[in-house]
Structure 1
Amino acid sequence: MSRSLLSPGELRERAGDVLLHHVAGPTAHEKRARIHGAPGPRWFGPERPVRVVHADASMYVGGLAALLLQSLHPLAMAAVAAHSGFQGDPWGRLQRTSTFLAVTTFGTAEDAARAVERVRRVHASISGTTSEGVPYRASDPHLLGWVHLAEAECFLRAHLRYGRRPLDAAGQDRYVADMAQVARRLGVERPPETRAELTALLAAYRPELRATPESRATARFLLSEPPLPAPARVPYAFLAAAAVELLPPWARAEVGPPRTLRLILPLARPGGHAITAALRWVIPPPPVPTG
């Protein structure tokens, strides 16, 4: 008689494959093998904080929080809404973003440089006008700076709250400095090098940030209408609550989470810890580098 129930090991492997397929695409295992296993120098050595942060399951919370925070800059949000195919192809955008982060953090220097150049070419081709008549360019260093700040802040916040081994103060400064290396290559001018500089620059952008119809539509899509099967909706709701709760209070108010999500916000932190623990259990370890 054949077995009808999966063993814990088989369940873990199947869940990990499904997750990787959604986050990194149908060739996830091949991508991971090249990114982590290809011989050659890297931009960041194994001891660097950026590798510690970006390898942790807390990135799932931080990544969602970063999308919500980035959407509060009207020009950045207009560019995303008009050109990224976010709602039409959400998994594709997630896969491109996760692959870029993985390649620049863990991949060879040659592959990382190629990934940056591809992004710069895409940015150079994107321009337009907001619904309020304000022109924008995706290659604008000021807009690139905002996207970078939101990512660095949210990735670091999520790591400190949900990471397996949170960085100390010196490690946080080194993480911000690591992120600045990639930001400069993407065209950001004078990115922050320390945690204090990151906080100060975020405050400097505050007068430019507000909710728009496009940002509200994005928040509704990310928080209420994710393209997920029914069994995944409950754990995703707690992941989304953890991401919203991670935001500064002013940003949380601008995002305006849906009522159903507001009801579970008191459970956001225990739910976030449970979700990141589950993700650590199902995500297979990366391949061991060959050189």
Structure 2
Amino acid sequence: MDSAADLGLFGPGSVTWKVHEEPILLLGGLRSLYLQALHPRAVAGVAQNSAYRADPWGRLARTSAYVGTVIYGSTAEVERAASRIRRLHARMTATDPRTGESFRIDEPELLRWVHVAEVESFLTTARRAGLALTDDEVDRYYTEQVRAAELMGLDPATVPATAAEVADYYERMRPQLRMTRDGAETALFLTVPPVPQSWGSVPLRLGLTLGPTRWAYFGVAGTAVALLPPWARKMYGGLGWPTTDVSADLSVRGMRLLMKAALAAAPERYRSAPMRREALHRAGLA
């Protein structure tokens, strides 16, 4: 394929490009982390193998770069990035805190949980923020994202590919989910991560900071948790009331409008990620 016309896995006619054009997906990524932390083995694997506590913002940047590559990269770029992640995962193991059993990080069950939690969070956050999608487009998004799951080594036949299949998958998984010490510590870290003083924060005891950035982030984290399914909020000690969902919808819609307004006022080079601009150029849409 001519590299100049190589649109990678998806392309401008895909629902994936339509969804991931939304800057509010940053909030969807945070929601997915809260959801992933409810799987005992998945969160244990992260806690025992990741340096996210020492470099949370660096890890976020690397994860965002990988997702951006899968969505917008050329075929060669996507394959290189996925191969690097698969090799990294293949070397990692962890120990189940409850049973003492050793397990591989790239077990299909764990990869599938992370994949579904991520894509469902992206889609749900975008829709609740106001992105108009038909039911057919929702199913198409999940079907398109099976290709991303396959990159991680999953059998595509085992990956939920429609909204109904995702709902059924969550129902099957719920008996296996629970709050563990690793999950609670991860959720606390997600809610109160270290904020550099250069971001306008004031140092306090215990390594915490306070300032405008911290207060703004509290609102973001609170909205991410409120966007979780009611059963997931209950595991975090929250409420499954419909009023919580209404408040979350209002909050995320307001955030989306603010983000769009800020981007509209920003210089052109800041309105979209470099990877997306390169993909639009290859597609002749720049």
Taking structure 1 as the reference length, the TM-score comes to 0.79
Pick aligned residue for 1:88 from 31, 46, 54 = 54
Return the alpha-carbon distance in structure 2 between the equivalents of residues 216 and 61 of structure 1: 20
- The alpha-carbon deviation at position 38 of structure 1 amounts to 7.0
8 Å contact 1:58–1:158 — kept in the other structure? yes
Tell me the secondary structure at the aligned position of residue 128 of structure 1: strand
8 Å contact 1:238–1:275 — kept in the other structure? no
- The alpha-carbon deviation at position 223 of structure 1 amounts to 1.3
Pick aligned residue for 2:220 from 234, 239, 258 = 239
Structure 2 match to 1:15: none
Structure 2 match to 1:31: none
* Alignment partner of 1:186 is 2:152: yes
Change (3 A) 1:125 1:104: same
* Alignment partner of 1:285 is 2:271: yes
Percent identity over the alignment?
35
Structure 1 match to 2:110: 143
8 Å contact 1:72–1:210 — kept in the other structure? yes
Pick aligned residue for 2:185 from 208, 212, 217 = 217
- Matching residue's letter, 1:290: H
Return the alpha-carbon distance in structure 1 between the equivalents of residues 103 and 262 of structure 2: 41
Structure 2 match to 1:254: 235
Return the alpha-carbon distance in structure 2 between the equivalents of residues 98 and 225 of structure 1: 17
Return the alpha-carbon distance in structure 2 between the equivalents of residues 172 and 101 of structure 1: 19
Return the alpha-carbon distance in structure 2 between the equivalents of residues 184 and 47 of structure 1: 21
Bigger mean CA offset, 195-204 vs 232-241:
232-241
8 Å contact 1:68–1:255 — kept in the other structure? no
Pick aligned residue for 2:140 from 170, 174, 185 = 174
Pick aligned residue for 2:84 from 107, 111, 118 = 118
1:64-75 matches, within 5 Å, as 64-75=30-41
- The alpha-carbon deviation at position 251 of structure 1 amounts to 0.9
- The alpha-carbon deviation at position 226 of structure 1 amounts to 4.6
Return the alpha-carbon distance in structure 2 between the equivalents of residues 75 and 81 of structure 1: 10
Return the alpha-carbon distance in structure 1 between the equivalents of residues 149 and 194 of structure 2: 29
Pairs aligned (count): 248
Tell me the secondary structure at the aligned position of residue 103 of structure 2: strand
Structure 1 match to 2:207: none
- Matching residue's letter, 1:216: A
Change (3 A) 1:268 1:235: farther
1:97-108 matches, within 5 Å, as 97-108=63-74
Q: Give the alignment's Cα RMSD to 1 decimal.
A: 2.1
Change (3 A) 1:73 1:170: same
8 Å contact 1:50–1:178 — kept in the other structure? yes
- The alpha-carbon deviation at position 266 of structure 1 amounts to 7.6
Change (3 A) 1:227 1:256: farther
Bigger mean CA offset, 232-241 vs 154-163:
232-241
Bigger mean CA offset, 232-241 vs 61-70:
232-241
Which runs of 5 or more structure 1 residues have no equivalent in the other structure?
A: 1-36, 258-263
Change (3 A) 1:221 1:281: same
Structure 1 match to 2:205: none
1:191-202 matches, within 5 Å, as 191-202=159-170
Structure 2 match to 1:260: none
8 Å contact 1:126–1:138 — kept in the other structure? yes
Taking structure 2 as the reference length, the TM-score comes to 0.80
Please give the per-residue CA displacement for 1:77-108, whole angstroms capped at 9, x wherever unaligned: 01101111121111111111101110010111
Please give the per-residue CA displacement for 1:134-160, whole angstroms capped at 9, x wherever unaligned: 322111011101101111211111011
- Matching residue's letter, 1:127: T
